[in-house]
Structure 1
């Protein structure tokens, strides 16, 4: 396999940022080269330039690009990945939201960059169990889970995971929302799966998002891959999708110095969240 020169690397970096928003700094060149080379071997290409031209080749190139993106975007995730954020939703935001919206029997949440579904199902478990504990079991909620990877979304839709991952889920929620499958796997039960819908979506297109008037946006460890100016543009667009009283939850330390005229910072040092006013 040939080596990738600086000019070639810059072309790939530019293409990835333009199409996905993901920024690959020079220090991560090895990561990008390894991902592209692996896919080139699978498809029989021995030239970076020829393969680059292939992913630009109309409909056929679009299909290949979709596969390559699966290799170049990070899918590291787990159930209940950031407990403080989920705890804040359950114990602080949700009780206040229900008091302020006593007649609101429908709640819509968005899990942005959901990868293989663990985050979206964790969020659904927290919402369902908390609504029951707060005596609001009649309230309906739905979680829209989006990602740019079709392969990751397929796993999420299936709701089937290796059995060793079960320990990531609190014991009481294991019993309520999970079912053992054979000796090696477990599945999210059908009742909870029906509350989570998976869809292909690039957050770069958030200004044209079909989702409107959301109560909760959960977007953790997604924006860190974007340039600083673009992060602020995306955050402003996300804020505009929230209902009054709705909340935007980000990864702690993911954004510094962000302000929005309709958002108020809430939570504690372990969390990064904003509540929409008016």
Structure 2
């Protein structure tokens, strides 16, 4: 006899009301737009959550979320819904520009006011590959000078699940295939099982924290010189994107840089950012 609780990966298993309720909940809390084309994705990704709790409907799951004062089930929801594809040196031209242009300009800015406070934020770090790529790029470029800096990287994500992976800092040989052999030698340790672990001299420079980009207030008192927020705004609607870009603008120092995904754009009619390269913007002085 079939398990009465079993849900098949079929969008017929979720009613219109249930899907729209989940869509509203996800948009309200995380800014992610779930259109009708995402219906099957929602069913497929939440199937395991219902099975784990031995419940047979999405309405029951929604009721659990509403009654859960800890926020744990809501966190589980975004862990399942959010897309976390990433890789080392993804969209590599950004890291070339960071090393060759943006970082030298930022160092000039700091030198002009005799500051050594280098502040970089990776605002959607996923499982850590992007954050470690930024950190390796900075350390390689600055060399011994890095040790004289009050430097470090803030890396945030909405998903506690991927943040745990980022903090573990351990990746398969396939995952680090895009890292240059010299950088692997300098910044990774090969484990007995063949996986690669980021060395402490890199890992300890990154502060991983859970943070929701939909928060009304951002708790950062000191501005950043560089912000990476790549391949996340594609899931937001135009109003949410504009609001977030405005916050990034306020959080950057004059002369600071914003890096976004190549499939994303900053609407220049509603911001003072200056376009530098595809998906690279600078705040004017």
TM-score range, shorter chain: over 0.9
User: Deviation at 1:212?
Assistant: 3.1
Contact 2:273 2:281 in 1 (8 A): yes
Give the Cα separation in 1 of the matches to 2:271 and 2:47. 46
TM-score (norm 1): 0.92
Contact 2:234 2:263 in 1 (8 A): no
User: Deviation at 1:136?
Assistant: 5.9
Q: 2:281 — aligned with what?
A: 274
Q: 1:156 — aligned with what?
A: 166
User: Deviation at 1:261?
Assistant: 5.3
Q: 2:213 — aligned with what?
A: 203
Q: 2:110 — aligned with what?
A: 101
1:124 paired to 2:135: yes
CA-to-aligned-CA distance 1:189-230 (integer Å, 9 cap, x gap): 001111101001001116333353111100100100001111
Write the mapping of 1:175-190 to structure 2, written as runs, cut at 5 A. Answer: 175-190=185-200
SS at match of 2:220: coil
Contact 2:231 2:263 in 1 (8 A): no
SS at match of 2:108: helix
With over 3 angstroms needed to count, the CA separation of the structure-2 counterparts of 1:140 and 1:206, relative to structure 1, is farther
Give the Cα separation in 1 of the matches to 2:220 and 2:137. 25
User: Deviation at 1:105?
Assistant: 1.3
Contact 1:206 1:237 in 2 (8 A): no
User: Deviation at 1:171?
Assistant: 1.7
Give the Cα separation in 2 of the matches to 1:58 and 1:212. 35
Give the Cα separation in 1 of the matches to 2:154 and 2:261. 19
1:115 paired to 2:126: yes
Q: 2:88 — aligned with what?
A: 79
Kindly tell me the number of residue pairs found equivalent between the two proteins. 273
Moved more, 93-102 or 75-84: 93-102
TM-score (norm 2): 0.90
With over 3 angstroms needed to count, the CA separation of the structure-2 counterparts of 1:262 and 1:58, relative to structure 1, is same
Q: 1:241 — aligned with what?
A: 251
How large is the RMSD of aligned CA atoms in angstroms?
1.8
User: Deviation at 1:39?
Assistant: 1.0
Q: 1:141 — aligned with what?
A: 151
SS at match of 1:143: strand
Give the Cα separation in 2 of the matches to 1:57 and 1:250. 37
Moved more, 36-45 or 204-213: 204-213
Contact 2:245 2:266 in 1 (8 A): no
